[in-house]
Chains A and B, each alone.
Chain A
Amino acid sequence: MKLVGLFSVLAVLMVIPAVDLAFAAGDEPGEYLDRRVVIWNLFYRLMTVAFTVGAVVSGTMIWQCWRFRESHPQAKPTPYEGTDW
């Protein structure tokens, strides 16, 4: 008899969480995710960042190659020329 009582208690303890979960599932419908949309969304956001940073860095490099080339009219010797640095 004690054994039946123990199993009953254990059974109730096991069932209750399941019932709760069932109610929870009923209250909050699952979210539908389209993985392709999520991935491409992330891709476009990352590409936006990459192209922005890329444009700044590449632009800086192109500009400094043009500005600091030795044939530029405003080019002047660096402080290190003619020294042992």
Chain B
Amino acid sequence: MVLELQKPRPIWQIMFSTHHTDVGLLYLITSLAFLFLGGSLALAIRAELFLPGAQIIGDAMTYNRIFTVHGTTLIFLFILPFASSVGNYFVPIMVRYKDMAYPKLNAIAFWMIPPAGALIWLGFADFTWYATPPYSIISAPGPAADMWIFGLKILGISSVLGAINFVVTILKCKHPDMSIGQVPLLAWSFLSSSLIILVAIPTFAAALLMLLTDRLGVSGFFNPAMGGDPIAYAHLFWFTFHPEVYVLVIPAIGMMYEIIPRFSRKPIYSYNSGVFAFVLLSIVGFSSWAHHMYATGMSFTEKTVFMVGTLAAVPASAMHVFNFIATMWNGRIKFSTPMMWAVGGIALFFSAGAGGVANAAMPLDFTTHDTYWVVGHFHLFVMGTIAFGSIGYLYYMFPYVTGRMYNETMGKVHFIMSFVGTVLVFFTQHVLGLYGMPRRVFDYPPIPEWIAMNQISTVGAMIIGVSMAIFLANMIYSSGKGKLANTEDPFGLGGKYYYPFEAKNPSH
């Protein structure tokens, strides 16, 4: 066990450590800080849209800045660092190695995140997380846009360094007695997502450089006035960021693969299908990027290819869902907080996937393109699946990190409120999109249906906001004054269970 808080150390010892659990702790604290920062921006957005007209945000430009930083923060500064935290804590122990393969590189990868976060937050750019050209290269204001580009550049390098470390740790540093077929599914999820990062990120790295030189006026790759094409940017961006969706979701599914068998008191139903589905998702993730671009005048053949490529992800995703269901079947399930989050995450994953299938059909995509349907759909993935899996795993690892137990009642209240809130916000946004409300708007006409659905959505967001306040209080209080955990069996599952992170790696 790690038991960070039972053995207090000077903060600098953790900050300058290269030990994998210390780096994992730094990733964890940083990602949670950005979760609350990005989440508070979400509340501001929803409060603004409660009624037509300006409410709490003065003007459209400020609104654009808020939702740009909201999206950038939660994707790049919460979800990815949180996954890295879990990977740092557990991947070396799962493959029975003393640390990550390159401990110093690991620490460097982490320490790139705070400056990148500072650039994004101090700049507060306004061109969406997509950095929409040609606006972003022609008229997006001053240092903010450039700071965002540099911030993303740094985060990309950090991701690549982290991915190299995970791949080498898993493939080259695993214990000689352990075959690749015995590596736990959580580690497999990190292997899959790291390989995706290594293939996908360089494309966006190039696109960011092109965006920057376009802004400086020395090139015109995406500037129509100089013969460039913004659609080229769309291809480069989505070639990276559609696979990136799987980079985000695969570790969350890996976390569910740890939680569900433990709390069902059964091994996973099919390890091989889990591995196969991870690998399949990693491959088909690259065959679907242009489904974001059906409305850009692509040929029918191109659209058909990408529609089929998108639908190819369905069997792989369904394999995970059915694997979870089959694992729980005939189990003796203990619904502690982590299990509730994991099961809720599966249900919402399935709902998000069903919406995605409808969205992938190109005729329907034209109806829903750039509407609130899209906002509801991808938030159901990032919040309903990825954040649910991650938060569930945070509760799961809490006793191992702190040596104390969180308050179970508060954890369950957190889950119930978040689940209800998520359904209210994002299911409603699907319908709102079908009613034609465009996304990324500061104001909207006073159509009664739009007002009602925006209000439902805002109420849901406030419920999530309150639940997150409960979560924060629980984490802070319990990590210092919570009941001491029985670290052999913190969740009272009984018997002798295989906890892959029972081992301790000595500090060095």
A residues contacting B by CB (< 8 A) are 35, 38-40, 42-43, 46-47, 50, 53-54, 57-58, 60-61, 64-65, 68-70, 75-78, 80-85
Q: Verify B495–A81 contact, CB threshold 8 A.
A: yes
Question: Given A35-B363, A75-B332, 20 other A-B contacts at CB below 8 A?
Answer: A39-B364, A40-B367, A54-B350, A54-B351, A54-B354, A57-B321, A57-B325, A58-B350, A61-B328, A61-B347, A68-B330, A68-B331, A68-B333, A69-B333, A70-B335, A78-B331, A80-B267, A83-B496, A84-B498, A85-B497
A64 to B264, CA, bound (A): 11
B residues contacting A by CB (< 8 A) are 264-267, 321, 325, 328-335, 343, 346-347, 350-351, 354-355, 357-358, 361, 363-364, 366-367, 494-498
Residue of A nearest to B363 (CB): A39
- Set of chain A residues within 8 Å of B321, measured between Cβ atoms: 57
Q: Verify B363–A42 contact, CB threshold 8 A.
A: yes
- Set of chain A residues within 8 Å of B357, measured between Cβ atoms: 46, 50
The answer to whether residues A68 and B267 also contact, given A43-B364, A50-B357, A81-B494 and a CB cut-off of 8 A, is: no
- Set of chain B residues within 8 Å of A43, measured between Cβ atoms: 358, 364, 367
The answer to whether residues A47 and B358 also contact, given A61-B347, A85-B267 and a CB cut-off of 8 A, is: yes
A76 to B331, CA, bound (A): 8
Name 29 interchain pairs, CB-CB below 8 A, sorted by A: A39-B364, A39-B366, A39-B367, A40-B367, A42-B361, A43-B358, A43-B364, A43-B367, A54-B351, A57-B321, A57-B350, A60-B325, A61-B328, A61-B343, A61-B346, A68-B328, A68-B330, A68-B332, A68-B333, A69-B333, A78-B266, A80-B267, A81-B495, A82-B494, A82-B496, A83-B496, A84-B496, A84-B498, A85-B497
What's the minimum C-beta distance from B146 to chain A, rounded to whole angstroms? 41
Q: Verify A80–B266 contact, CB threshold 8 A.
A: yes
Q: Verify A61–B361 contact, CB threshold 8 A.
A: no
- Set of chain B residues within 8 Å of A77, measured between Cβ atoms: 265, 332
- Set of chain B residues within 8 Å of A69, measured between Cβ atoms: 333-335
- Set of chain B residues within 8 Å of A84, measured between Cβ atoms: 496, 498
A38 to B498, CA, bound (A): 54
